[in-house]
Amino acid sequence: MTDVDDGIDTALRDRLIVATLAHTPFDGWSQAALRAGARDIDIAEDVAQAAFPHGTRDMIRHFSRWADRCMVAGLEAADLEDMRIRDRVAIAVELRLEALEPHKEAVRRGLSWLAMPQNAVLGARLLYRTVDDIWYAVGDRSADFSFYTKRGLLAGVVGSTTLFWLDDDSEGGTETSDFLDRRIADVMRISSVRRRTEDLKMKTPNPLRILRDVARKRYGGQALRGGSHSG
């Protein structure tokens, strides 16, 4: 699913979403919240509805993408050059949560909506877009199998950290930062084990290939063609 492309300016949708966020704790991700937000910034109701023609689905999708863009903008303004990849990833997740901090109840309600079976596909797509933006913004340009592995592992980090953050009332969100660091450390350990396993596989002879070579030397092509040998 792509972002809505109907000629309506992204900045207008951003304004509407930010205004709507003030009402989602009371009205949820509803048309009532959207109308109230539109009134707050003097935008006509029909314009607001045209901006999000599929209602809740479009609003939550744009909210997620708005948070992603805030995160990417923060990363672009940060000095990442001398940082390790894991530290860049941690900053990315923290920047996204920082953008969402004033809107925890909106996030909670949005995640509850996305958790419904009929909305799960959209939830997965939005999470993928987030982790894809993170890896690209921190400088990862992998195109091999690790491309998908990295995104899958980071999706678990982003998802679990966001859920932890929702209930974190520690000063300055320190408990969330600690939780995030532990999750990233777990991912780095998994990645390290995977690399060592792949290296070992490259260095270890394939037993099936050895057996085929032995059979070829002993029986010629007969064993490989399925012929029987009696001895």
Domains in the chain, start-ordered, CATH in brackets? 10-219 (1.10.357.10)
Give residue 195's pLDDT: 52
pLDDT digits (tens, 9 = 90+) for 77-133: 998 888 998 999 999 999 999 999 999 999 999 999 999 999 999 999 999 999 999
Least confident of 18-27, 109-118, 132-141: 132-141
CA distances from 73 to 22, 46, 66, 76, 78 (A): 23, 31, 11, 5, 9
Tokens found for residue 120 = 């799960």
DSSP line for 119-185 = GHHHHHHHHHHHHHHHHHHTT----STHHHHHHHHHHHHHHHHHHHHHT--SGGGHHHHHHHHHHHH
Tell me which of 10-19, 106-115, 148-157, 206-215 is least confident: 206-215
Task: Look up residue 225 and give its DSSP letter.
Answer: T
Q: Give me the pLDDT at residue 127, please.
A: 97
List CB contacts of 179: < 8 A, sequence separation 6 or more.
160, 161, 164, 168
Residues 196-212: pLDDT tens digits?
A: 545 545 555 555 555 55
CA 137 – CA 199 distance, rounded (Å): 28
- The amino acid sitting at 129 is R
Q: What is the pLDDT of residue 148?
A: 85
User: Could you tell me the pTM of the whole model?
Assistant: 0.80
User: Do the beta carbons of residue 64 and residue 133 sit within 8 Å?
Assistant: no
User: For 23-45, what is the mean pLDDT?
Assistant: 97
- Distances 150 to 64, 67, 166 between C-alpha atoms, Å: 20, 21, 24
